[in-house]
Amino acid sequence: MKALNVICNCAFATAIIALPFLLVNWMKYIKAEPVNKLVAVRPGFPTKSVCFFLIPTLTVIVVATVMTTYERHDVLKFIQSLSGNYTVYVDREEVRNSDKIISALKQIAPYSAHHSHPTKRIPVAIRSDVRDLALKLGRDSDNPQEYWVFYVEHSATANSEIGRITTSTFDEY
């Protein structure tokens, strides 16, 4: 996952660096006079600029999608395998009803997009003997009982939801 994170960040940086070159070369191409007055074919299509922008952009999209899917499965696998000693923290405070929160988090699933966005983010941490897990839940702007789940371990997907849950468990936070 760390390698994919590095690949995603490098591809993103490459696309950002290539963008001004693409814009300049595209404007030159648009302003160029057609070769023939009858056919509007312009010389010098900016193939290199387009490639140096599109290939990294597509790489970012593919790698981020793969990472998001993998992270959702990894988080669900960890949560479903919890047993024995574990502690749940919501908003940096230990929670008494940890079973209720774990039960809600087991419902993480991808949702189809709708015209809303996450608002206030609630940090949720699970500490067990095996490992620690840090998530952030963003309350939906339209449905206050829907929460966007973010896995913040990797910078490439920290602002990309791994799924959503609908529950009243986090209403008090």
Q: What pLDDT is attached to residue 42?
A: 65
pTM of the model: 0.75
Residue 155 φ/ψ, nearest 5 degrees: -65, -30
> Do 165 and 105 contact (CB within 8 A), yes or no?
yes
**Domain layout of the chain by residue ranges:** 2-166
Give per-residue pLDDT as tens, 87-99. Answer: 888 888 888 888 8
Query: How distant, in Å, are the alpha carbons of 46, 76, 98 from that of 42?
Result: 11, 53, 65
Residue 116 has pLDDT above 90, yes or no: no
